[in-house]
Amino acid sequence: MNTFIHDILNRPALFVKEHVGILKASNHYDVYDAYSNEPLLECREEDLSIFVKILRFTGWKTFTPFNCTVRTLGGQRVMSIQRGVSFILSDVAILDENDQLLGFLKQRFTLIRGRFDVVTPDGDVLCELRGNWTSWGFKFMDDDHELASIHKRWAGLAKEIFTSADNYVLEISPDVPHNNRVRALMLATVLCVDFVFKERKYAKWLDW
């Protein structure tokens, strides 16, 4: 990624706002600086097939594949977020602007809780996403060390544009190095976590 892209991902807090609308099949999000409300990025599902559009209005919605592209406001590609058809566990691939694999978001289950790992292309776990579906607060954890959090409440300027329950703030710890790939993977997690997990029926009782 170039320096400009790194500058965006190096910001300490990003606000992700979903486009909501009646009969909306595709996933569209805008990303702002959470402190200044400056618009930074756009995430769009491009070239969605008719078949997938139809399924998005059925109970099969969260099992459908998706391919979201993140771009700057000037149209420069930052990364893409891709997943094939998924019936139980989701594996989401994150690619950079040159289609080079940055890593994966891997959903896992244990006997007592769900798990969402952020991993490198080689399968090494960078961190784990933990959270609670009731409060919709999530943390990226490296063992017992918190690297970042996803939540809905924000005391900064972005609170003025919180108009939907499907808007989130990603706060990244200063301990996470600048220009580290995990920053891109964390943002990608925010962009897809709502679609992958929230609308599934088991999300109502699954406590991470």
Full-model pTM: 0.80
pLDDT of residue 107: 77
pLDDT of residue 3: 39
pLDDT of residue 26: 64
State the alpha helices, DSSP H only, in the chain: 3-9, 50-55, 181-193
What SS3 class is residue 9?
helix
List the domain boundaries for the chain.
3-204
3-class SS string, 162-192: CCCCCCEEEEECCCCCCCCHHHHHHHHHHHH
Q: Residues 205, 16, 167, 155: is their CA dihedral positive or negative?
A: positive
pLDDT of residue 147: 96
Q: Say how far apart CA 11 and CA 89 lie, in whole Å.
A: 31
Tens-digit pLDDT profile for the chain (208 aa)?
A: 443 456 889 999 999 988 765 556 567 889 999 999 999 999 888 776 675 666 566 665 666 668 889 999 999 999 998 886 665 667 889 999 888 999 998 877 654 455 689 999 998 999 998 876 555 678 999 998 999 998 876 666 555 555 455 688 999 999 999 989 999 999 998 887 766 655 544 443 333 3
**CATH 3.40.50.620 given to domain 3-204:** no
pLDDT of residue 4: 45
